[in-house]
């Protein structure tokens, strides 16, 4: 999982959108709750002030101290921590509640409202040395024409406590909700993109040898379904193209066989004419050699095309790979001795595989011939057969010129030659290893190469063991190190 993957990016976008939405929702809730609390407090204070105005209407007919007694009995401002003040228009205070318990300010420090009006007004004041207060002011004129200002207030901290509680709740639960939502979004993304993983896995297994396979089509009716269908159509077009190339190679090779055979026979007949001069005989002999070389190239191309197309009938049987490798190496010792090469063969006695003996022998012949061609005089060539768990290993190694690092990825391609001049001089056309690759693929085997320029090469063929074989007790991968080097 990387930060650049579409799954992570979609999850981050989802989490960011969710966090932004929750923050916006929390802000709107905060503003709405604040307005509701302030409005509700103002309504209650206004009702309280209107109740006091009814007492003011009776004030001229009552005894002194009537207003204070009624307010104390009805509202108990000091005990409830509220503020009540009644003021005449001249600024004379008719009543003022005592200092609230627990507050550090005096009620007398609450500033008077400037001017009198018949409308209710709500304001927030900050007395010196105390917290903020929410004050509701109401003007009242009694029947005798006396004007009063009734002020009722509560500590603004009551509203702030509720708002701060909301903020704390948002601070705690918002990250939790975003985390849970992000994790859930990631799981949903993973589940939604699982069909893409299936398409990727199937696509990785499709090569030029199995283009008949198709990717699973996601029946979703959206872009994924169109993508999988488009990829299948592309694979079908590639399959048609490869089939066309294979047919062309097979047809071209087949059509070239007859004229090349006729040309070879005619050159052989001409070269036997006794009236020809030695110089002409040499030229005709050289042309005959090139014709024979071209015939071998055509035969190899036809073989590869048939193997790729699956048209070669494999007569598979259980055979002893060790015996096949030993006998083939013995037959090719003569070619090695012509270059003063030492050939050794170390094979476990019981390594059984299932395959076509003729084709597998062709694999061994081509690998040994390749080693002979690229190993200088006095060098060494080795053939090794071992079993590792359920796999049979065939190795052909030498201490020859080796293969450049840049050439290793292309060594099994048709007509590819790392050393073109040397290959041409030795008669090679760059098809031997391509045939090895095609035969191995037809047998479900894998062929690899490990090489270091100037120190030699090792060709490794891995194929499944037959049921009758007994795997070796020791691991060839651990004892020789060839496979581990190739993996690096």
| pLDDT number for residue 129 | 60
User: What secondary structure letter does DSSP report for 282?
Assistant: H
What stretches of 224-333 adopt beta strand conformation (E)?
A: 316-320
Show me where the domains of the chain are located.
Answer: 6-162, 223-309, 316-487
Tokens 């169109």 found at: 226
Strand-pair category, 380-388 with 342-347: parallel
pLDDT along the chain (488 residues), means of 10: 72 88 93 92 88 82 78 80 83 80 64 63 74 84 83 86 91 90 84 80 77 79 81 86 71 71 81 81 82 75 67 78 91 88 88 89 90 90 90 91 87 70 52 84 88 90 77 39 33
Q: Which CATH number is 316-487 given?
A: 3.30.565.10
| pLDDT number for residue 21 | 92
| pLDDT number for residue 476 | 41
| pLDDT number for residue 472 | 42
Show the DSSP H helices in 106-222 as ranges: 157-192, 194-204
| pLDDT number for residue 37 | 92
| pLDDT number for residue 254 | 65
| pLDDT number for residue 120 | 65
Instruction: Of 410, 416, 405, give the one whose Cα is nearest residue 486.
Output: 405
CB-based burial, 3-42: b 16+ in 10 Å, e otherwise: eeeebeebbeebbeebbeebeeebeeeeeeeeeebeeebb
| pLDDT number for residue 419 | 59
* Domain 223-309 CATH (choose: 3.30.70.20, 1.10.287.130, 1.10.3720.10, 3.40.50.720): 1.10.287.130
Tokens 């005989």 found at: 281
User: What secondary structure letter does DSSP report for 276?
Assistant: S
For domain 6-162, give the fold: Beta-Lactamase (3.30.450)
């Amino acid at each position: 999982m990387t930060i650049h993957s579409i799954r992570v990016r979609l999850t981050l976008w989802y989490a960011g959108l969710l966090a932004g939405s929750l923050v916006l929702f929390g802000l709107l809730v905060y503003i709405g709750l604040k307005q509701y609390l302030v409005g509700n407090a103002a309504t209650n204070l206004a009702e309280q002030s209107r109740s006091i105005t009814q007492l003011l209407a009776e004030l001229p007919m009552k005894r002194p101290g009537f207003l204070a007694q009624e307010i104390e009995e009805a509202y108990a401002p000091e005990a409830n921590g509220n503020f009540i003040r009644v003021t005449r228009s001249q600024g004379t205070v008719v009543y003022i509640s005592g200092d609230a318990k627990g507050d550090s300010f005096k009620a007398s420090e609450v500033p008077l409202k400037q001017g009198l009006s018949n409308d209710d007004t709500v304001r927030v004041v900050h007395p010196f040395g105390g917290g903020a207060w929410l004050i509701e002011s109401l003007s009242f004129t009694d029947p005798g024409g006396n004007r009063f200002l009734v002020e009722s207030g509560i500590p603004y901290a009551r509203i702030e406590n509720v708002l701060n509680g909301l903020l704390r709740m948002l601070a705690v639960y918002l990250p939790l909700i975003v985390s849970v939502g992000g994790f859930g979004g990631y799981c949903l993304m993973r589940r939604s993109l699982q069909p893409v993983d299936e398409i990727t896995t199937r696509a990785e297994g499709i090569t030029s040898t199995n283009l008949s396979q198709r990717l699973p089509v996601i029946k979703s009716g959206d872009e994924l379904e169109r993508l999988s269908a488009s990829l299948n159509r592309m694979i079908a077009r590639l399959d048609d193209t490869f089939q066309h190339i294979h047919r062309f190679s097979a047809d071209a090779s087949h059509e070239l066989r007859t004229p090349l055979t006729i040309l070879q026979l005619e050159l052989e007949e001409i070269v036997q004419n006794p009236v020809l001069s030695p110089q002409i005989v040499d030229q005709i002999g050289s042309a005959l050699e090139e014709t024979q070389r071209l015939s071998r190239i055509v035969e190899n191309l036809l073989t590869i095309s048939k193997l790729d197309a699956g048209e070669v009938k494999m007569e598979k049987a259980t055979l002893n790979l060790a015996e096949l490798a030993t006998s083939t190496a013995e037959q090719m010792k003569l070619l090695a001795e012509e270059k003063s090469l030492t050939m050794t063969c170390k094979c476990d006695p019981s390594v059984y595989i299932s395959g076509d003996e003729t084709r597998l022998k062709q694999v061994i012949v081509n690998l040994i011939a390749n080693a002979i061609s690229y190993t200088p005089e006095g060098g060494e060539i080795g053939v090794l057969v071992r079993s590792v768990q359920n796999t049979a290993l065939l190795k052909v190694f030498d201490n020859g010129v080796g293969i450049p690092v840049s050439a290793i990825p292309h060594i099994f391609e048709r007509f590819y030659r790392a050393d073109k001049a040397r290959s041409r001089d030795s008669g090679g056309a760059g098809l031997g290893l391509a045939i090895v690759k095609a035969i191995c693929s037809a047998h479900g085997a894998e062929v690899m190469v490990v090489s270091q320029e100037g120190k030699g090469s090792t060709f490794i063929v891995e194929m499944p063991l037959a049921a009758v074989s007994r795997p070796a007790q020791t691991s060839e991968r651990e004892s020789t190190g060839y496979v581990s080097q190739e993996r690096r």
